[in-house]
Amino acid sequence: MKLTLWTYEGPPHVGAMRVATGMKGMHYVLHAPQGDTYADLLFTMIERRNHRPPVTFTTFQARDLGGDTANLFKDSARDAYDRFQPQAMIVGASCTAELIQDDPGGLAEALGLPIPVIPLDLPSYQRKENFGADETFYQIVKALAQPMPRTEAITCNLLGATALGFRHRDDVTEVTRLLSLMGISVNVAAPMGATPDDIARMGQAHFNVLLYPETGEAAARHLERACGQPYTKIVPIGVGATRDFLHEVSALTGLSAKVDESGLRLPWWSASVDSTYLTGKRVYIFGDATHVTTAARIAATEIGFEVVGMGCFNREFARPLRAAAKAYGVEPLITDDYLEVEAEIARLQPELILGTQMERHIGKRLGIPCAVISAPVHVQDFPARYSPQMGFEGANVIFDSWIHPLVMGLEEHLLTMFREDFEFHDEAGASHHGGKAVPRQEEELPTYVVPAGQDLSAPLDRYAAMIPDIPIITPSGEVVWLPDAERELKKIPFFVRGKAKRNTERYATDRGLFEISVDTLYEAKAHYAR
């Protein structure tokens, strides 16, 4: 038994729902109690889907348990077939139905439906959402895809995109576009967008592109074995990774990896002098292993941040993540307990978090800006505009979305130079975030005249709202901040104060000091100067 407040992943049957909902012509009959239908709203509300997920829940109740839940399942499956006429069906159990052991696979088979019925065995008490999606897609591919003659032109399949995935919709479009630059067209993109009939013709492709190892790797391995299709190992997120990916595809196909890069802006945006201030900014990265690993490479080599910590919530991918962490000389954190992640971030005091919606909340509490790079998703992660993560346009999108939460370069200098200014104080926050300027409470100036034209009705920006939570001095019990030093610390702009505090305390501890004076603060600053 493990006490959990918030979770990074849902149960495995939600992963199966992500596969079914991404597909067309597929139906999922799920043996589950009433209440499990909440999962529909993930798709209809968070992703704003305009159709119900193609899922029939048996919604058994307590009174059914004494009776015949098996017949309830059979009736539901038969009704679902009659009503929706799918090309194929997947059947399985949620956590509760797993306990009553009705064997949905066997029951469905006994119905003798005239379509392929694929049983799923997803152990709810051991595994989680990503496993559920990966396993479901694998079972579908295993049941439906056959070796077949290759297409005349070079084609590939795109594997792993699902409903409710982080930017999957746009990544599929972008990678399709990227491959077309090499002269390769897409045979089938699956599961998202594919029908069972499409799955059946996946064997025609010359190779597979594994977009998301978390949800597509088992299928990729199967197709390699069963249909002799090699698959790509590099996920094209970031400029370097996209170029490497093109070379990998070139090696598989013999086509040239040289493509038109005129739409790629990240390298120049990063090289232009305005971005100098990004140099060595300390970032912490957490999410699914694939997005974290690719983000670390972009952060370290394409934007010039310093990766101070990284981790993932999906234990299945701990090994590649550990290897990546080693390259940046950081200790990886593999956990699905967000309290551990929060403690790690609080300890490291990064200047930017690249994380999930959970880390965005952690950042809010700790006063650290955050850009979202990975699932679990939130309604904000389904923008109306085109915003892929993969390919060259993905790199452009990433530059913008990571830089936006930070205070801008010149503004950072002004805040440092004029930190005594009543408008440049901490609570003012970053000027481009749209919050209204909040005047500092001046003891000697209790009233403040709102400048003409300033709209006070504008809603407070989330950054402005989080400022009061910034911990300024938390006595650690080991070192004591003298009042002068504490006052001096408060003069340091909020976006570097956490780092200054941490460095000073470490400096003091390393030297066996029990008190921190103004001198200690500046000695530490000189010591850690970069």
Partner 1 sequence: MSLDLPSDGCRSTPVLKERGQREVFCGLTGIIWLHRKMQDAFFLVVGSRTCAHLLQSAAGVMIFAEPRFGTAILEEKDLAGLADANAELDREVGRLLARRPDIRQLFLVGSCPSEVIKLDLARAAERLNQQHAPHVRVYNYSGSGIETTFTQGEDACLAAMVPTLAPTAARDLLIVGAMPDVVEDQCLALLSAMGIGPIRVLPAHRAGELPHVGENTVFALVQPFLGDTHAALIRRGARHIPAPFPFGEEGSTAWLRAIADEFGVPRDLFESVIAAPRARAQKAIAAQAAELRGKSVFFFPDSQLEIPLARFLVRECGMTAIEVGTPYLHEGLVGPDLDLLPKGPVISEGQDVEKQLDRVRAASPDLTVCGLGLANPLEAEGFATKWAIELVFTPVHFYEQAGDLAGLFSRPLRRKAILRKEAAE
- Total residues contacting partner 1 (rule CB under 8 A)? 57
Q: Hey, what amino acid is at 60?
A: F
Phi, psi of 394 (to 5 degrees): -60, -40
Cα 372 from chain centroid? 6
- Residue 410 marked ligand-binding: yes
Q: Which helix (H) or strand (E) holds 89?
A: strand 88-93
Q: Per CB under 8 A, does 474 bind partner 1?
A: no
Q: Give the Cβ contact number of residue 68 at 10 Å.
A: 13
Q: Which is nearer to partner 1, 13 or 169 (CB)?
A: 13
Q: Per CB under 8 A, does 361 bind partner 1?
A: yes
Q: Which is nearer to partner 1, 306 or 342 (CB)?
A: 342
Q: 3-class DSSP state for residue 190?
A: strand
Q: Which is nearer to partner 1, 151 or 335 (CB)?
A: 335
274 is catalytic: yes
Closest approach of partner 1 to the CB of residue 365, in Å: 7
Q: Which is nearer to partner 1, 97 or 508 (CB)?
A: 97
d(CA 386, CA 377): 17
Q: Which positions ≥6 away from 369 have C-beta within 8 Å?
A: 351, 352, 353, 363, 405, 406, 463, 495
Q: Which of 15, 18, 26, 33 binds partner 1 (CB under 8 A)?
A: 33
The one segment of 52-60, 144-152, 308-316, 408-416 that binds partner 1 by CB under 8 A: 52-60
Q: Which positions ≥6 away from 325 have C-beta within 8 Å?
A: 296, 310, 311, 331, 332
The one segment of 19-27, 36-44, 114-122, 201-209 that binds partner 1 by CB under 8 A: 36-44
The one segment of 51-59, 183-191, 428-436, 515-523 that binds partner 1 by CB under 8 A: 51-59
Q: Per CB under 8 A, does 76 bind partner 1?
A: yes
Q: Which of 75, 197, 274, 484 is catalytic?
A: 274
The one segment of 39-47, 106-114, 170-178, 325-333 that binds partner 1 by CB under 8 A: 39-47
- Residue 400 marked ligand-binding: no
Q: Per CB under 8 A, does 34 bind partner 1?
A: yes
Q: Which of 21, 58, 155, 215 binds partner 1 (CB under 8 A)?
A: 58
Q: Give the Cβ contact number of residue 337 at 10 Å.
A: 17
Q: Where do the DSSP E strands lie in 148-244?
A: 155-161, 185-191, 207-210, 231-232
Closest approach of partner 1 to the CB of residue 496, in Å: 25
- HEC secondary structure over 270-289: HHCHHHHHHCCCEEEEEECH
Per-residue x/- mask for partner 1, residues 321 to 360, rule CB under 8 A? ------------------------------------xx--
Nearest to 382 by CA among 70, 169, 75: 169
Q: Per CB under 8 A, does 3 bind partner 1?
A: yes
Q: Per CB under 8 A, does 456 bind partner 1?
A: no
Q: Per CB under 8 A, does 365 bind partner 1?
A: yes
Q: Output b/e per residue, 74-89; b: 16+ Cβ within 10 A.
A: bebbeebbeeeebbbb
Running DSSP on this structure, what letter comes out for residue 166? T
Q: Per CB under 8 A, does 57 bind partner 1?
A: yes
Q: 3-class DSSP state for residue 263?
A: coil
Q: Which of 38, 329, 452, 483 binds partner 1 (CB under 8 A)?
A: 38
Q: Which of 78, 265, 364, 419 binds partner 1 (CB under 8 A)?
A: 364
What distance, in Å, lies between the first and last C-alpha atoms of the chain?
47
Torsion of CA 240, 272, 274, 395, to 10 degrees: -30
Q: Which is nearer to partner 1, 11 or 191 (CB)?
A: 11
The β-bridge partners of 27 are 89
Question: Binding site residues for substrate, as ranges?
Answer: 409-410
Question: Binding site residues for [4Fe-4S] cluster, as ranges?
Answer: 36
Q: Name the residues that contact partner 1, by CB under 8 A.
A: 1-7, 9-11, 13-14, 33-42, 44-46, 48-52, 56-62, 64-65, 76, 79, 83, 94-96, 99-100, 123-126, 128, 357-358, 361, 364-365
User: Which sequence positions are flagged as catalytic?
Assistant: 274
